[in-house]
C-alpha cells in the first residue's frame, strides 16, 4: 500500500500537477475576467481549440514557438471580439452567442488544419517548449525540480494570479470592470463606458483562452489533435464558479482539478490499472469536479449583472 | 452669504410626444436652501430633475449654476458642475465595498487607486455632515437607509454643491428619516443647496425652507414658509382641488373575522411572533404600529399562509387555519396587500390581466377543464381596470411598466374582487401620492362599512390614526399595548414602539 503512495507522490507527480494546471489556470483566469465584467463566454472551448491550432501551425511553419503563442493569443482575441460584438454591442443572448462561437471556432480550426496539413497518417509535430529551470530556485530540494523546472508559460500563468488580483482590486480599471459586472447603470452614471470596459475584458479574456490552447499543443503535447482540448474549456467555466470569481480561489480550483487528473494518470499506470478499466480513471477528475462544485458553489454569488445586456435607457 | 443663486432654471420645457411634462418652469435654489419640490405623480418633478442631472435634454429654457450658464448633456457634465442626484433606485453594486462604490469613476491620472486619500476625505465628510459608513462593509449588508446614505456620501465625495433627493423618504423608516433630515440640515448649514422631492406634506413642512409646487408640468405655487402653511392649502395646490380627510362613519362591530391566539413563529424579516394574540372583528380597522423588524413581516406572512406558526391557533372568519398555505388562507376569506408589491404582490413581467387572476387562475371561471379561458380573464380584467380607474394601456400591458399607485390599485382590485372577510394590508400607501393614498383609504373605509375587517400594518402613524378603530403596537414579536384610536397620541405610540410598557406613558 505504502509502495503505491510513494509511487504516486514523488517529485515527478508534483511537477506533472503544476504542468497540467497551467492551461486550466490560463483559461480560468480568462473566463473569470470576462465574467467579472458581466459576460459569460461559452466560446471558451472553441477558442482554446482554435488557439491550439493557430499556435501549432504558426510555430510549425515559422519554427518559432513564441510566435505561435502570439498567434494563438491574437486568434483568441479575434474570436472573443466576435462574442463581444454580438453580446455587448448588439445585446444578444450570451449563451447562444457563446455556443455559436465555440462551434464556429472548432469548425474553423478543423477546416484550416485540414487545408494546411491534409490528412497525414502521422500528425505533424514540433519541438515543444522545454522546461526552463530557474537559476538557484530549481536547485532547492523537492520543490526545486517540481515547481521551478517548468515551462516559461507556466511561470507566466502563475504570475497572472497575483497580477490579476492586484489589477482588479487596486486599479481604477479593475474597479470599473467589477462595477460593470455588478451594476452597469452605476458605472454608467459615474462616467464609465460600460461597452468599452466589457469589450476590453472579453477580448483580453479571449487572449488568455487562446494561449491556454497553445500551451496544450506547444508545451504539454507537441502536436495538434482534434481532441486536444478535451473539455478543459468547460471545466474552466466550472472552475470560475468554484473559485467564486476570485483569482486566488480560481487558481486553487485549477490546482485541485490538476491534482486529481495527475493522480488518475498515475493510477492508470500503477498496478491498479490492470484490474480496473482505464475509463474509470478518466472519469475521476470530472466526477470530483461535480462533487466540489455542488458543495462549494451553493454559496457562490455570481456578478449581479452577469448575462444581462446593458442598454443605457433602461433601468 | 453670497447673493448669487446656486441654481437658476428659467423657462424650462420638455415634451414627450404630445405630453408637456415640463412647461416653462422657473426654479431658484440659494446656497443653504432646502427647496421642497411637491407634486402628484406625473406632475413633472422627476422630469425636471432629470433635465438638471443630464438624463434628459430640455426643449427650451436656461440653466445657470453659480451665476454661469451651464449646458448639461449627461450625468458627467452634471457632476462636473457640482450637481449630485440620489435616485429612487440606487446606483450601487451590492458585492462591492462601500469604498469601492464611492471610488468608481473618480477622475485622476493615477494608475493605482489611492484608498488612503479617499479615507481621509470620507472622514472629512463625516465631520462636516455627520454622514458615515464603515468603508469596508459590502453594500449587500447595508439597510435601505444606509444605502441611501452611501448615495449621499458618494455625491458629496464627487464634489456636489447641489443635491437632488428624489423621494428619499419613500423607502425609509421614521428613524431613518430623522437621520436623513439631520444630514440635510447639516448640508444646508454648510451652504449646500438641496432639492427635496416628496409628496409627504408633513416631511416637507418639517425640513424644507421653501417649497415649489408643480401640477401638470407647471409651477402652481411657491410657499416661503412651509412650516406655517396648512396641509389643506398645499394639497389644493398639488391636486387642484380640496382634499378632505377621510371620514369614518360609525359602524356596528360584528363577529370576529380574524383571531390569533398565542401564535409564535420563526423569525422572518426581523423578529418572529412571540405568543401573540389579537382579534379583528367585522366592521373594524385594527392598526398595527411598530418600528419595522418587530414581527410585522411574520404577522403578515403567517396570516397569508406563507409562514408556518410553531404554536398557537389562527382562525379566519371563524374557521381554523389548520393546514397553512396561501391557498388555504384565501379560501377562508383572507385578502392580502403585501408590503413589497413588486416582489410578493405582483409578477411584474406578466400582464395586468394575468396578475389580476393569478391567485385564482386554476379556478372557475378563469380555467375550465384544465384550460385557461383567456376571454373571461380579459373581460374580468377590463371590468376591474375600469372599476378601479387603473391607468394602463389595457389588460395586456406589462405590469412592471406602471407606476406605484397603479400597481397598488391592481392589487386592491384583485384582492377585493372576491369580497374577502378580512384584509391584511402591509404598508399599503408607502410611496403613493396623495390622490392614490386617498383612493386606497376610501376602499378600506368602504370595506369597513360593509362589515369586513382590516388589519392595517403601517409605519405611518398619521395614517393609522386617521383610519383605525383600535391601534396595537408591536414590539419584538409581541403586542406591547393596544388602545382605541381616540386614546392614541403620537407620543404614547412612539414610547410603546421603543418597548416601554404602557404604564410609564
Contact B153, B180 (CB under 8 A): no
**B75, B104, B108: residue with CB nearest A176:** B104
What would you report as the CA-atom Rg of chain B, rounded to the nearest whole angstrom? 24
Label residue A112 exposed, middle or buried (CB < 10 Å: 0-12, 13-18, 19+). Answer: middle
| Separation CA B493–CA B471 (nearest Å) | 9
Q: In what order do the strands lie in the sheet with B319-320?
A: B276-281, B256-264, B311-316, B319-320
Predicted local confidence at residue A313, as pLDDT? 56
Question: Does A233 reach chain B within 8 Å, measured CB to CB?
Answer: no
| Separation CA A269–CA A278 (nearest Å) | 9
How big is the A-B interface in CB pairs under 8 Å? Answer: 64
Q: How many CB atoms lie within 10 A of CB A254?
A: 28
Which chain A residues are Cβ-neighbours of B75 within 8 angstroms? 188-191
Distance of CA A81 to the CA centre of its chain: 17
Predicted local confidence at residue B504, as pLDDT? 42
| Separation CA B497–CA B479 (nearest Å) | 10
Residue labelled with grid coordinates 465595498: B97
Which chain B residues are Cβ-neighbours of A187 within 8 angstroms? 93, 104-105
What would you report as the CA-atom Rg of chain A, rounded to the nearest whole angstrom? 20
Q: How far is CA B181 from CA B185, B209, B283, in A?
A: 6, 12, 38
- Cβ–Cβ gap B105/A303 under 8 Å: no
Predicted local confidence at residue A119, as pLDDT? 85
Which chain A residues are Cβ-neighbours of B92 within 8 angstroms? 183, 186
| Separation CA A65–CA A59 (nearest Å) | 5
Query: pLDDT for A163-203, tens place per residue?
Result: 999 999 999 999 999 999 999 988 888 888 899 999 999 99
**A183, A192, A303: residue with CB nearest B105:** A192
Q: Helix (H, G, I), strand (E, B), or coil: what is residue B193?
A: strand
Considering only residues 107 to 146 of chain B, which have any Cβ-Cβ distance to chain A shorter than 8 Å?
Answer: 107-108, 110-113
Q: How far is CA A51 from CA A76, A228, B24, B419, B425, in A?
A: 6, 11, 61, 67, 61
| Separation CA A179–CA A162 (nearest Å) | 20
**A186, A301, A303: residue with CB nearest B104:** A186
Element of type H or E holding B38: strand B34-38
Best B77, B86, B91, B139 member to test A by mutation, with max A CBs in 10 Å, is B91
**A175, A182, A315: residue with CB nearest B95:** A182
Contact B309, B295 (CB under 8 A): no
Contacts of A107 (CB under 8 A, 6+ apart): none
| Separation CA A82–CA A89 (nearest Å) | 10
Residue labelled with grid coordinates 428613524: B175
- Own/partner contacts of B172-175, CB < 8 Å, gap of 24 or more, are B172/B144, B172/B145, B172/B148, B173/B145, B173/B291, B173/B292, B173/B459, B174/B291, B174/B459, B174/B461, B175/B291
Contacts of B229 (CB under 8 A, 6+ apart): B205, B223
pTM of the model: 0.79
Which chain B residues are Cβ-neighbours of A172 within 8 angstroms? 103, 106, 108, 110-111, 113
- Cβ–Cβ gap B105/A187 under 8 Å: yes
| Separation CA A237–CA A231 (nearest Å) | 10
Considering only residues 145 to 204 of chain A, which have any Cβ-Cβ distance to chain B shorter than 8 Å?
Answer: 170-172, 175-176, 178-179, 182-183, 185-192
- Cβ–Cβ gap A191/B105 under 8 Å: yes
Predicted local confidence at residue A315, as pLDDT? 40
Residues of chain A with pLDDT under 50: 314-315
In order along its 505 residues, chain B shows pLDDT tens digits of: 457 899 999 999 998 877 788 999 999 999 999 999 988 877 888 889 989 988 888 999 999 999 899 999 888 888 888 999 998 888 899 889 999 999 987 766 577 888 888 999 999 999 988 899 999 999 988 888 889 999 999 999 988 999 999 888 877 777 788 889 999 999 999 999 999 998 778 888 889 999 999 988 899 888 888 888 877 788 888 877 777 777 788 888 999 999 999 999 998 878 899 999 999 999 999 999 988 889 999 999 999 999 999 999 999 999 999 899 999 999 999 999 998 888 888 998 899 999 999 888 888 788 888 888 999 999 999 999 999 988 888 898 888 878 788 899 999 999 999 899 999 999 998 878 888 888 999 999 999 999 999 999 998 888 999 999 999 999 999 999 999 999 988 888 888 888 766 544 3
HSE-up of residue A303 (Cα within 13 Å, Cβ side): 26
**A172, A186, A191: residue with CB nearest B93:** A186
Amino acid at each position: 500500500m505504502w509502495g503505491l503512495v510513494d509511487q504516486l507522490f514523488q517529485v515527478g507527480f508534483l511537477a506533472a500537477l503544476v504542468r497540467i494546471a497551467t492551461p486550466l489556470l490560463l483559461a480560468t483566469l480568462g473566463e473569470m475576467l470576462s465574467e467579472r465584467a458581466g459576460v459569460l463566454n461559452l466560446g471558451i472551448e472553441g477558442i482554446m481549440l482554435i488557439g491550439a491550432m493557430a499556435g501549432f501551425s504558426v510555430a510549425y511553419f515559422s519554427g518559432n514557438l513564441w510566435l505561435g503563442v502570439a498567434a494563438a493569443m491574437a486568434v483568441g482575441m479575434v474570436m472573443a471580439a466576435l462574442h463581444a460584438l454580438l453580446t455587448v454591442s448588439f445585446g444578444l443572448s450570451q449563451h447562444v452567442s457563446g455556443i455559436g462561437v465555440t462551434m464556429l471556432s472548432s469548425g474553423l480550426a478543423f477546416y484550416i488544419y485540414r487545408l494546411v496539413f491534409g490528412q497525414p497518417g502521422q500528425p505533424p509535430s514540433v519541438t515543444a517548449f522545454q522546461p526552463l529551470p530557474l537559476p538557484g530556485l530549481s536547485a532547492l530540494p523537492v520543490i526545486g525540480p517540481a515547481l521551478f523546472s517548468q515551462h516559461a508559460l507556466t511561470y507566466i500563468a502563475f504570475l497572472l494570479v497575483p497580477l490579476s488580483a492586484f489589477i482588479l482590486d487596486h486599479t481604477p480599471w479593475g474597479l470599473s470592470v467589477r462595477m460593470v459586472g455588478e451594476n452597469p447603470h452605476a458605472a454608467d452614471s459615474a462616467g464609465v463606458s460600460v461597452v468599452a470596459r466589457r469589450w476590453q475584458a472579453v477580448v483580453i479574456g479571449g487572449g488568455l483562452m487562446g494561449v491556454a490552447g497553445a500551451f496544450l499543443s506547444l508545451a504539454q503535447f507537441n502536436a495538434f489533435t482534434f481532441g486536444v482540448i478535451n473539455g478543459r474549456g468547460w471545466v474552466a467555466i466550472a472552475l470560475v464558479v468554484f473559485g467564486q470569481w476570485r483569482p486566488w480561489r480560481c487558481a486553487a480550483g485549477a490546482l485541485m482539478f490538476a491534482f486529481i487528473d495527475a493522480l488518475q494518470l498515475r493510477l492508470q499506470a500503477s498496478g491498479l490499472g490492470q484490474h480496473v478499466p482505464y475509463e474509470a480513471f478518466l472519469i475521476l477528475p470530472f466526477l470530483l469536479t461535480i462533487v466540489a462544485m455542488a458543495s462549494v458553489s451553493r454559496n457562490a454569488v455570481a456578478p449581479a449583472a452577469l448575462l444581462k445586456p446593458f442598454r443605457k435607457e433602461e433601468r | 452669504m453670497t447673493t448669487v443663486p446656486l441654481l437658476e432654471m428659467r423657462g424650462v420645457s420638455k415634451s414627450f410626444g404630445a405630453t408637456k411634462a415640463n412647461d416653462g418652469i422657473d426654479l431658484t435654489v440659494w446656497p443653504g436652501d432646502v427647496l421642497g419640490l411637491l407634486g402628484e405623480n406625473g406632475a413633472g418633478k422627476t422630469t425636471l430633475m432629470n433635465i438638471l442631472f443630464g438624463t434628459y435634454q430640455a426643449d427650451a429654457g436656461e440653466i445657470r449654476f453659480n451665476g454661469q450658464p451651464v449646458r448639461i448633456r449627461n450625468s458627467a457634465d452634471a457632476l462636473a458642475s457640482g450637481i449630485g442626484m440620489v435616485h429612487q433606485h440606487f446606483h450601487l453594486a451590492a458585492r462591492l465595498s462601500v469604498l469601492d462604490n464611492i471610488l468608481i469613476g473618480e477622475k485622476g491620472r493615477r494608475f493605482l487607486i489611492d484608498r488612503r486619500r479617499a479615507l481621509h476625505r470620507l472622514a472629512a465628510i463625516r465631520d462636516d455632515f455627520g454622514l458615515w459608513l464603515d468603508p469596508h462593509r459590502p453594500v449587500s449588508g447595508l439597510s435601505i437607509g444606509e444605502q441611501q446614505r452611501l448615495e449621499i456620501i458618494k455625491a458629496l465625495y464627487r464634489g456636489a454643491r447641489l443635491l437632488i433627493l428624489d423621494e428619499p423618504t419613500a423607502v425609509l423608516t421614521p428613524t431613518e428619516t430623522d437621520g436623513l433630515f439631520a444630514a440635510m440640515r447639516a448640508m444646508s448649514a454648510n451652504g449646500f443647496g438641496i432639492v427635496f422631492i416628496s409628496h409627504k406634506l408633513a416631511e416637507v413642512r418639517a425640513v424644507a425652507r421653501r417649497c415649489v409646487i408643480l401640477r401638470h408640468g407647471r409651477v402652481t405655487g411657491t410657499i416661503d414658509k412651509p412650516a406655517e402653511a396648512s396641509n389643506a392649502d398645499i394639497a389644493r395646490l398639488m391636486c387642484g382641488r380640496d382634499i378632505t380627510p377621510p371620514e369614518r362613519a360609525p359602524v356596528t362591530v360584528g363577529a370576529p373575522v380574524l383571531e390569533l391566539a398565542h401564535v409564535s413563529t420563526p423569525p422572518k424579516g426581523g423578529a418572529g411572533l412571540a405568543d401573540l394574540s389579537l382579534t379583528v372583528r367585522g366592521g373594524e380597522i385594527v392598526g398595527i404600529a411598530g418600528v419595522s423588524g418587530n414581527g410585522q413581516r411574520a404577522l403578515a406572512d403567517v396570516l397569508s399562509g406563507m409562514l408556518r406558526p410553531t404554536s398557537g391557533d389562527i382562525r379566519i372568519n371563524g374557521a381554523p387555519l389548520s393546514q397553512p398555505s396561501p391557498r388555504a388562507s384565501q379560501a377562508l376569506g383572507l385578502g392580502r396587500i403585501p408590503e413589497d408589491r413588486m416582489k410578493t404582490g405582483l409578477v411584474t413581467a406578466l400582464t395586468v390581466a394575468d396578475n389580476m387572476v393569478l391567485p385564482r387562475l386554476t379556478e372557475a371561471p378563469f380555467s375550465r377543464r384544465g384550460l385557461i379561458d383567456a376571454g373571461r380573464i380579459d373581460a374580468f380584467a377590463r371590468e376591474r381596470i375600469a372599476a378601479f380607474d387603473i391607468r394602463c394601456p389595457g389588460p395586456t400591458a406589462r405590469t412592471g411598466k406602471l407606476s406605484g399607485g397603479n400597481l397598488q390599485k391592481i392589487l386592491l382590485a384583485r384582492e377585493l374582487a372576491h369580497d374577502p372577510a378580512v384584509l391584511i394590508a402591509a404598508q399599503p400607501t408607502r410611496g403613493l401620492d396623495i390622490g392614490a393614498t386617498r383612493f386606497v383609504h376610501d376602499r378600506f373605509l368602504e370595506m369597513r362599512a360593509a362589515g369586513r375587517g382590516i388589519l392595517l400594518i403601517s409605519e405611518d402613524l398619521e395614517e393609522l390614526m386617521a383610519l383605525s378603530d383600535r391601534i396595537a403596537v408591536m414590539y419584538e414579536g409581541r403586542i406591547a399595548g393596544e388602545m382605541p384610536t381616540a386614546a392614541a397620541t403620537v407620543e404614547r405610540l412612539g414610547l410603546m414602539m421603543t418597548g416601554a410598557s404602557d404604564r410609564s406613558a
